[in-house]
Structure 1
Amino acid sequence: MRKISIVGTGMAVAGKRVTNDDLSKLVDTNDEWITTRTGIKERRFCDEGESTYTLAETAAREAIARSGISIGDIDAIVCATVSAEYVTPSLSCIVQRQLGLKEDIPVLDVNAACSGFIYGLEVIRGLLDGSDGKYGLVIGCEQLSRLMDMTDRSTCVLFGDGAGAAVVKLSEEKSYASVLGARGGYEIRVEGAGPVVTKIKMDGSEVFKFATAAIPKCIGALQAKTGISLDEVSQIICHQANARILDHCVKKLKADPDKFYKNMDRYGNTSAASVPMALDELVKLGRIHNGDKLMLVGFGGGLTWAGVLIEYDGK
């Protein structure tokens, strides 16, 4: 099995800043209630003229620019999303057209909810490994504000809009391993396509129990596959759903909390975009360096879980 490494990252933040105090004017809630239960202080919603397509394109262009390759070098695209505006054409096809990429490449979307970006990494690894391709583009992008019931205080306070992207390179020698799984369930759900935009529904307590089991499970499975200890891993970048979930897992694993980055206080839960957005922020903060081994861990609707051990090979 040939492997992949990350050579460039990028992100896009939606333009409208929505604080907890802003939401308290729309629904029966307050800043203290939201912050103590989730760690979220604000989130971003798409402003006029913004959408999944504009966010995905912006994040992709930054990732490509920072990778040092040209747009014409991209040999596959995978977009992870649950909130694209169209069932078809896919988000990835729109990005392909907007970026002006070549046509003789595989281009598709995946839906694994908040695990989607990590599923996308394994999908693109397989696409590149099975072809003559060298570089792939993986994007996690969501406009969840389109799907929220603003009268439901248990869900509308959680989610935000954003995009994160990574350019990956097929590699023979870099460290890489993945674990993917699912357990059919309706704890997080959005009904199918129809004339009326449907809304997110979620059983928060069940999701909390699922997530606090899924993260250690993924990390343990990656360690078993690779023999790598957490001391050898630079960062463990988890889906940014809830600060209490990550705190619980750090305590359970007896791990270094500095390796578990959090940014949900500023962006909320951005589903498939959360892991690549956190990854990009860590790169820009100088906390990820060339040769670092990273664990990326996701969990979400499906119910799905996913983990990957991957190396950063960027500049």
Structure 2
Amino acid sequence: MKDTFKNDIDKGLSAPEKTLPSKYFYDKIGDALFIKIMNLPEYYLTKAEFDIFKNQTQHIIKGLKISPDRYFELIELGAGDGTKTKELLKVLSNNNYLFKYIPIDISSNALEQLESRFTEELPAVKIAPKQGDYFHVLDSLKASKHPKVVLFLGSNIGNLTDTEAESFITNLSAVLNTNDKVLLGVDLIKPEHIVLPAYNDKAGITKDFNFNLLNRINSELDANFNLDHFYHAPEYSETTGVAQSFIVSKRDQEVRIEALNKTFSFRNGEKIHTETSRKYNDDVLRSILKNSKLTIASKLLDSKEYFADYILVKS
């Protein structure tokens, strides 16, 4: 894992337009910060999708066309703390559905906490966590021929470029069997005054979340990033529907990363891209699905129509 982290950081900071992978936000500190973000007044995404899972659980089950007497695997990509999913699991468990819950996450800390909490709160649910980058776990899905429902929630797909999202969905489609389902949660395109504060909260928690990545590089790769010499700068375009986060250098400076035996130069005002959060509508999603065998079966909206959970079916 450390070698992969080291190589990804080297590749990103060596690029003409510097980047750092958002997946490395998540360690023990990052997980705790993201939980704080989800509870911020500005961060509507989690609340909106929770609204769907809390108040439309039966609609989700009906849309997925799962029955109590047929065993299936409920696979969640990027499970996080599982708060929303628990609403679905409770109903499935209380109604004696036959299933196994397989949460997948890059953060072993998040999975350990999820398994501990769910084992206590939902003892009847069979849980089989898998730690890793879900891009690499997809192949392991092929081995099982049981019916599958794949949850990809929280607008995680929005962290990918359209090209990456299309590739991911096409690869996901390829490892699923006919009539398998995907429940895909996406943030919808909205005005800037709603979206931008979600990535630039007044308390500065999102800034700390981004800067935690620099702290990780300092501690794990023996670097000397001075966080006071950078600032957090999110952007959003209503036209493109794309939000992006950047860490920006306040001055000309050099940063040494001993684990790489390299020094990186930063110009005053130079950006490090840390995250993309693409917003969706029906047309964008259809474009992403075009080379897959997944089709839109239904769509559930929260009460404010900020967020959508699409049910996709493999044909």
Instruction: Normalising by structure 1, report the TM-score.
Output: 0.28
- Which structure is richer in relative contact order (CA contacts within 8 A, separation 6 or more)? 1
Structure having the higher Rg:
2
Structure in which a larger fraction of residues adopt helix? 2
